[in-house]
Structure 1
Amino acid sequence: MVLRHASGDEKHPTVLRRITGSFKSTPEPPDVVETKTRKLENTPNGFPRLAAFQSSEANFSLYRSFNYLHSRILLDLQDEITALEKELDDIDWDDFDEDPDRLRSREIDVAKAASEGDARNRRVILEEIRTKLLQYDEVLIKARTLESFQKPSDRNYRSVRRYHHNTKPLMDAEMDSIRSKEDIVSLRNGREWASFDGGVETMIGQLDHFLQKLFGCREPPLQKYFRTPELRAKTTNAYISLYSSSRIDKLINIMITLVIFVLLVIPVITMYLLTSESISQPSDGNAALNGTVSAHSNGVNSRTTFNAVGVLIVFTLLFSAAMSLVTKAARHELFAASAAYCAILVVFIGNLVVPA
């Protein structure tokens, strides 16, 4: 269901307005398109402004994982559970020798444990083991989840460090967390963020500032294409450029599509030009020269086939390098993609190279 906005007095539509009216959308009223954005400069300097900065962009959401402390807690719980396990084994063997019925019936064991008062029996130890295991499993699962978080790229980490250096939101003693680079994880999740992506964003920023100086613009001219109004409203700091990740992704997808297109078309055209000379060979009506022409044709065909294979090897290596550069494909994915690309070129060579 689509809700339409009530409007005031409307003029009687002309024929042209009736035809073009179906292609026009009614402008949204201001109270629908109005948005509220937290601005860095309107936030008190300190932890509030730092929180506003790190939440303004997913790449800046860098926090400590405290791997060392997780390991300490896990080791401590592990040792406690191990000691309880040994104590439980000792009680089991004692009851096996003195009262084996307690090991064969839970009801008997519970009844006798109740009559023992505050004595440390099997029921007490099992309850302690249950509590410790729940704590241990919770910390272990959380630690495993934290290990799956991505490490920030050097570019994003330096950006956050530059913000700390330029604005001094915290005292020096409070900055030990951001200095622990090996313990920092990123909350960014979604599109694979290879170094190529960061390079493209850096190139856009540099080009934007160059065009601003070149044409004397008040604002960088590429802002409206790569920065949403909400991102532009977050800060007026000239040293902070927040670009829309979705728009950067679209540009990168277009660039990757062009790279794949080039890597498919150029080798095909090159191999076609190399093998075209072996398709039509000069013929001579003199039968005495048939042997010479046949030998020449075989030599040309072998040479062009060898050249085509060389082109295949070169462009397969270029394709693998491009995959490694612009994506974060796993090793088996990279191998499968390269094998498929090579198979396409091999099929093309087989269709073009004609036996003499």
Structure 2
Amino acid sequence: MVDSERNEQPGSELVGHASVARFIASDREHSGFVYRQYREIAARNLLYLQSELRVLEIRQRELDREDAVGDLKDYEMAMDMEVLAERVLDPNDGRAQRRVKLEYQIKEKLKDYQEMLIRTKAVLQLRRPTKQVYEAFRSDFNNSHQSQSKQFPKLSGASFDLYEEEHINDLVSLCSPSLDEDRLTTWLRHHCPKLFMRREKHAYARGRSYVASLSERRLQICVASINIILAAAMLFGAIYNLYYVDNDKTKLGLIAAYTVAFAFCVGVLTNARRSEMFGACAAYSAVLVVFVSGNLGYGITSNA
């Protein structure tokens, strides 16, 4: 999703949440699924649960100290769950009642706390929407392509400023580029989005919207093509150059230069790890060394 335009033509009457939902679902790449994550509220909720668990933990330790200085029956209750289960049936046994009630409270509160930790971690791993996606979403949300009198947020009340710039750091995209996306793809996505734009027409209230979204398929085809062409050029270009060089020192210098250039391309255009980069450079230089050391590398000299 890169940008959106509006032409004043009659369309299906969708307003409010229905209009925003249709815009979100209109992109086949699903990049419009942008929402607030409410990090501050999530952090406070975790703090509340943590504090509540701390109170229960202190109560549990107090009961443990009471059991440690109690009589033989208290020792047995602390050591054997069956004894505790029997004593809790006695409504007059306040210590057993408190112990079991506290255990249930801890179990429920700890479950909520751990689930919240896991869910919060998953949300924090979501990435923010790209600049193009955010600008397109905000433009449509605020009806920026309408006439001046119709430029107002699609949602009102407390939701009118959900996607304002003050909340940009709190937005997450449910379908954002992966963290291991290579550098070439990232660069093309941010600097050349118009090359991969796909326009789709959708009907909204007060007009018909033309949503221009970025085609991930076209982007991946372009990146794959560039990588193939560059890899072929680095390999066959080096071989072609070495074929017409007779001086051994010059050949060694060219092999070193081409290996450095190959390493630079791998490091800049891909997200290869260090070990993978070393392996690729070793294989590349090995091919050039084998070519130079073989008879084919001395074709001109032998013919002469």
Name the TM-score class by shorter chain.
Answer: 0.7 to 0.9
Alignment correspondent of 1:174? 159
In 2 relative to 1, CA 158–234 (structure 1 residues): closer, same or farther, beyond 3 Å? Answer: same
Q: 3-state DSSP class of the match of 1:176? A: coil
Bigger Rg, structure 1 or 2: 1
- Structure 2 residue 90 is matched with structure 1 residue 115: yes
Moved more, 102-111 or 185-194: 185-194
1:253 to 224, 239, 260: 224
- Superposed, 1:155-304 pairs within 5 Å as 155-165=132-142, 166=144, 168=152, 169-171=154-156, 174-179=159-164, 180-188=167-175, 192=181, 194-205=186-197, 231-232=200-201, 237=208, 240-273=211-244, 276-278=245-247, 301-304=248-251
- Structure 2 residue 14 is matched with structure 1 residue 76: no
Q: 3-state DSSP class of the match of 1:158? A: helix
- Quick one: which amino acid aligns to residue 264 of structure 2? L
What percentage of aligned pairs have identical amino acids?
18
**Which protein is richer in strand relative to its size?**
2
- Superposed, 1:42-81 pairs within 5 Å as 42-57=12-27, 58-81=30-53
Shift of 1:116: 4.2
How many residues were matched structurally?
262
Shift of 1:196: 1.9
Higher relative contact order (CA 8 A, sep 6+): 2
Mapped contact 1:232–1:242 kept (Cα < 8 A): no
1:341 to 280, 300, 303: 280
Moved over 6 A (4+): none
Moved more, 40-49 or 308-317: 40-49
Q: 3-state DSSP class of the match of 1:185? A: strand
- Quick one: which amino acid aligns to residue 125 of structure 1? L
- Quick one: which amino acid aligns to residue 194 of structure 2? T
Alignment correspondent of 1:87? 59
Unaligned runs of 5+ in 2: 1-9, 146-151, 299-304
Deviations 1:167-204 (A, max 9, x none): 53234852432231111111116774624235443224
- Quick one: which amino acid aligns to residue 109 of structure 1? L
Unaligned runs of 5+ in 1: 1-39, 206-225, 279-300, 324-328
Deviations 1:59-80 (A, max 9, x none): 1111111222111111111111
Mapped contact 2:34–2:171 kept (Cα < 8 A): yes
Alignment correspondent of 2:77? 102
- Quick one: which amino acid aligns to residue 246 of structure 1? R
RMSD: 3.1
Q: 3-state DSSP class of the match of 2:108? A: helix
